[in-house]
Amino acid sequence: MAEAAVKQTPTDAMIATLDMPQGGWSDAARRDALARVQAMGLPSRRDEYWKYTRPDTLVQAQAVPAALRDGDDTVLFDAVDRLKIVFVDGVFDAAASDDLALEGITIERLADATSDLHWARDVYGVLENNGQNPVPRPLAALNTAFAADGVLIHVTGKPSKPVNIIYRRTSTTADAMLHHCIKLDAGAELTLLENGPVAARFNGVLEVEIADKAAFHHVRAQGRDHEQRAATHIFTRLGTESTFKSFTLTANGVMTRNDCVIELTGDDAAAHVAGACVGDGGDFHHDDTVFITHDAVNCESRQVFKKVLRNGATGVFQGKILVKAGAQKTDGYQISQSLLLDEDSQFLAKPELEIYADDVACSHGSTSGAIDEDALFYLRSRGVPHGAATDLLTLAFLAEAVLEVEDEALREEVTGRLASWLERHAA
Amino acid sequence: MLSIKGLKVKLEDEDKQILKGVDLEIEAGKVHAIMGPNGSGKSTLSYVLSGKDGYEVTGGSATLEGVDLLDMDPEARAAAGLFLAFQYPVEIPGVGNMTFLRTAVNAQRKARGEEEMTAAEFLKVVRARAKELKIDADMLKRPVNVGFSGGEKKRNEILQMAMLEPKMCILDETDSGLDVDAMKLVAEGVNALRTEGRGFLVITHYQRLLDHIKPDVVHIMADGRIIKTGGPELALEVENNGYADILAEVA
Ligand SMILES: Nc1ncnc2c1ncn2[C@@H]1O[C@H](COP(=O)(O)OP(=O)(O)OP(=O)(O)O)[C@@H](O)[C@H]1O
Ligand SMILES: [Mg+2]
């Protein structure tokens, strides 16, 4: 009891700074979520899943200001034909966005969808609430309660192009909370792209309900601002023969925590989640936390996470595969690897398997290593300079994760972004 | 071309002397062969010349066309024209063979202040050279040496040599692991590069390779020294009698 009382204080302090949007279909979900946060309390270092990542700056009432990154080169996905939805400092920018209309989908802003009845009622806060057990995710519940805006996408067909949510920053202090909901009907398909820095501090939730035979592809680049902080959650639930594939590129940012909670509820479904992360400096902290529940027969899940860390950067991976009783023929693969470019950098990994079915193939592996000296010498002996040879080997290390991006053009954009990061951060 | 004088080398981390004073002069246009018992220091010599870490030069010198090699980074030695075909070529997962070759060729050209090769130009040359060595397109696309058979790895070394057109080529047991036909291909590849301006140092255990790549000079290395130097007939002597007589003669 004493502990709970101590934990309430920062939670109440945070809640006191926030305004809950009132009325409409989301009202009940928001109130329920508020009750959840109050019961759980915001994360503290004593929580099992916050042992390696200090939640302090994510849970304190005021966001730490973050300088804007100056000097910009290319913008990701610029060459891709897509429908653009732009948020500036976490606020929707209608002028910069395209018409929210595309054959095969309906798109609305969360802030505009105020009727009493809405399809999103079955998704908003529902998947988040499902994902609270057995590991509490109070920042996600906080988001459901207070998110000011977001995008609601109902996919009924196969839209001709991806939807791209673009984030831009102009303020050094913005503290943004966005909540996106996506519902894919049976057989529907969507590619969602997200890129850019959201705010000095960002709390983001993405809920994706995937019906039978539907397919969702997600490629996200978390923006290159050095001082930004973000806690993001993806919650998804997959129906029979459906597909979920999500890839995240993280370069820079001082504190990033990406949670991904996946529930395979229909037979023969596939869920892939991957990430490539490059971090430079003692302030850099990146945490991938994944929880995959297999609750159906013959499903496949894949987790592929690669991190390149230098100059005292820290990387964390916590990945769990839970195979429920009856989830036979589960094929689960998990790999998390770090390339430590110096002795000051560190990688902390906590892979977990919990299996209650007997006909299951699950493998997991986690490694930390340095550049392969023999390979480096081989390249140099052919005339490739030390720096270029290191970059080549670093990109090779990241390649397995980047290969999870199926679309070749998108994959090349991601690789190009990583290569230019390596050039800018030459040893 | 390559001039090695009194070269002494020990292991960096251990008190173990491996090369105990090696003298070797390789003139442009000539092929020298080195034979010698296992562990005599042949690979060590080739590594030290190309700049591998882990060795400490405790005496002597090595120059390429008068330029001190031992002070240079490995990439600078490569750009200066030195090439080593590895006894054990390294596998590099995730780096495509083509990307690797093109990066290497252009890095050397850039270091020498020459024009870089365009993608199209490079592709044309590499395809022609690969064909001569019977390296198929698939092998060019795969990651460097990953999943290559022993012989494929050796042919890939010669392809790199052909693309980089070095001045001084060191071949460390390039014949090991090659079948009879592949050995001919490799020898043809080497012979095609035999020109006035280029020197070769061929490390081998077997006369068979020297049937195809005719050496001008043969050296015997034992216990970190060149103990005997002669013509092609020296290789035949080793083939027939082993090293016992030569070692006894010197002792
Ligand atoms: N990095 C190292 N660490 C320990 N010992 C080494 C190292 N490099 C070379 N040696 C030792 O130095 C000696 C010479 O080795 P080297 O590989 O040069 O022989 P070699 O003449 O090429 O032999 P082979 O004909 O078997 O290829 C051997 O005794 C070897 O074990
Ligand atoms: Mg050897």
B196-213 pLDDT, tens digit each: 999 999 999 988 899 999
Torsion, Cα of A149, A153, A159, A164 (10° steps):
20
Show residues of chain B in contact with A376, CB under 8 Å: none
The verdict on residue A230 lying in a domain is yes
Ligand sitting nearest the alpha carbon of A373: 1
How many interchain CB pairs under 8 A, A with B?
80
Show residues of chain B in contact with A418, CB under 8 Å: none
What is the reported pLDDT for B53? 94
Write the single-letter amino acid at A101: A
- B40 within ligand 1 shell (Cβ under 6 A): yes
User: What is the predicted ipTM?
Assistant: 0.95
Q: How far apart are CA A291 and CA A239, in angstroms?
A: 17
Using an 8 Å Cβ cutoff, are A191 and A53 in contact?
Answer: no
Q: Inform me whether the pLDDT recorded for A140 exceeds 70.
A: yes
The verdict on residue A380 lying in a domain is no
Using an 8 Å Cβ cutoff, are A76 and A413 in contact?
Answer: yes
Q: Inform me whether the pLDDT recorded for A5 exceeds 60.
A: no
Average pLDDT, chain A: 94
In b/e form, how buried is each residue of A251-263, taking b as 16+ CB within 10 angstroms?
bbbbbbbbbbbbb
Percent of chain A with pLDDT over 70: 97
**Of the candidates A132, A144, A128, which has an alpha carbon nearest to the alpha carbon of residue A33?**
A144
Q: Inform me whether the pLDDT recorded for B21 exceeds 50.
A: yes
From start to end of A311-345, where are the E strands? 314-323, 330-340
Show residues of chain B in contact with A370, CB under 8 Å: none
Is the sign of the CA dihedral B242, B246, B248, B251 positive or negative? negative
**Of the candidates A175, A156, A174, A153, which has an alpha carbon nearest to the alpha carbon of residue A164?**
A153
- B198 within ligand 1 shell (Cβ under 6 A): no
Which of the four pLDDT bands, split at 50, 70 and 90, describes residue A427?
low
Task: Using the structure block, give the residue that is written with the tokens 């990066």.
Answer: B103
The verdict on residue A411 lying in a domain is no
Measured in angstroms, the CA of B238 and the nearest CA of chain A are apart by: 31
Can you say how many angstroms the Cα of residue A89 is from the centroid of all Cα atoms in its chain?
A: 18
What is the residue with the minimal CA distance to atom 16 of ligand 1? B41
Q: Ligand 1, from B17, B43, B49: best to mutate by most atoms within 8 Å of Cβ?
A: B43
What is the residue with the minimal CA distance to atom 29 of ligand 1? B39
DSSP A149: B
Which of the four pLDDT bands, split at 50, 70 and 90, describes residue A7?
very low
Q: What is the mean pLDDT of residues A58-67?
A: 94
Nearest to A383 among B75, B92, B95 (CB): B75
What is the reported pLDDT for A214? 98
**Of the candidates B134, B237, B235, which has an alpha carbon nearest to the alpha carbon of residue B189?**
B134
What is the reported pLDDT for A86? 97
* Chain A residue with the nearest C-alpha to that of B96: A396
Q: Inform me whether the pLDDT recorded for B13 exceeds 90.
A: yes
Strand, coil or helix: B110: helix
Q: What is the mean pLDDT of residues B160-179?
A: 93
What is the reported pLDDT for A375? 97
Q: Ranked by mean pLDDT, which of A113-122, A333-342, B149-158 comes out on top?
A: A333-342
Interface of A with B (CB under 8 A): 372-375, 377-386, 388-389, 392-393, 395-397, 399-400
Q: Does B111 touch chain A (CB under 8 A)?
A: yes
Nearest to A386 among B75, B92, B104 (CB): B75
Q: Which atom of ligand 1 is nearest to the CA of B87?
A: 27
**Token pair of B107, please?**
């890095």
**Of the candidates A34, A16, A15, A18, which has an alpha carbon nearest to the alpha carbon of residue A26?**
A34
* Domain limits for position A229: 21-306+324-329
What is the reported pLDDT for B136? 87
Number of domains in chain B: 1
What is the reported pLDDT for A72? 61
Q: How far apart are CA A349 and CA B76, in angstroms?
A: 39
**Of the candidates A31, A57, A32, which has an alpha carbon nearest to the alpha carbon of residue A42?**
A57
What is the reported pLDDT for A73? 60
In angstroms, what is the span from residue B42 Cα to ligand 2's centroid?
Answer: 5
What is the residue with the minimal CA distance to atom 26 of ligand 1? B38
- Please count the other Cβ atoms lying within 10 Å of the Cβ belonging to residue A121: 17
CATH number of the domain to which B15 belongs: 3.40.50.300
Number of domains in chain A: 1
Q: How far apart are CA A257 and CA A280, in angstroms?
A: 16
What is the reported pLDDT for A1? 43
Task: Using the structure block, give the residue that is written with the tokens 């560190």.
Answer: A346
- Mutation for testing the B interface, residue in A382, A403, A415 having most B CBs under 10 Å: A382
**Of the candidates B29, B22, B33, B23, which has an alpha carbon nearest to the alpha carbon of residue B1?**
B29
* Domain limits for position B33: 2-91+167-250
The verdict on residue B106 lying in a domain is no
What is the reported pLDDT for A2? 47
Q: What is the mean pLDDT of residues A128-141?
A: 96
Task: Using the structure block, give the residue that is written with the tokens 């639930």.
Answer: A237
A254-295 pLDDT, tens digit each: 999 999 999 999 999 999 999 999 999 999 999 999 999 999
Sequence-separated (6 or more) residues with CB below 8 Å from residue B123 = none
Nearest to A384 among B83, B84, B103 (CB): B103
Q: How far apart are CA A34 and CA A222, in angstroms?
A: 27
**β-strand B67-68 against B55-64: which pairing, if any?**
antiparallel
Helix B119-132 with B150-164: angle, nearest 10 deg: 130
* A134: preceding bond cis by omega (within 30 degrees): yes
The verdict on residue A199 lying in a domain is yes
Q: What is the mean pLDDT of residues A342-346?
A: 94
**Token pair of A123, please?**
């998704």
B23-66 pLDDT, tens digit each: 999 999 999 999 999 999 999 999 999 999 999 999 999 999 99
- The whole-model pTM stands at 0.91
* Chain B residue with the nearest C-alpha to that of A402: B94
Q: Does B103 touch chain A (CB under 8 A)?
A: yes
What is the residue with the minimal CA distance to atom 13 of ligand 1? B39
Q: How far apart are CA B204 and CA B190, in angstroms?
A: 14
Write the single-letter amino acid at B199: G
List beta partners, residue B116. Answer: none
* Chain A residue with the nearest C-alpha to that of B170: A381
The verdict on residue A381 lying in a domain is no
List beta partners, residue A340. Answer: A309
Q: How far apart are CA A363 and CA A101, in angstroms?
A: 43
CA distances from B184 to A2, B134, B172, B200, B213 (A): 82, 11, 17, 17, 9
**β-strand B143-144 against B92-96: which pairing, if any?**
antiparallel
**β-strand A91-92 against A83-88: which pairing, if any?**
antiparallel
A84-131 pLDDT, tens digit each: 999 999 999 999 999 999 999 999 999 998 888 899 999 999 999 999
- B204 within ligand 1 shell (Cβ under 6 A): no
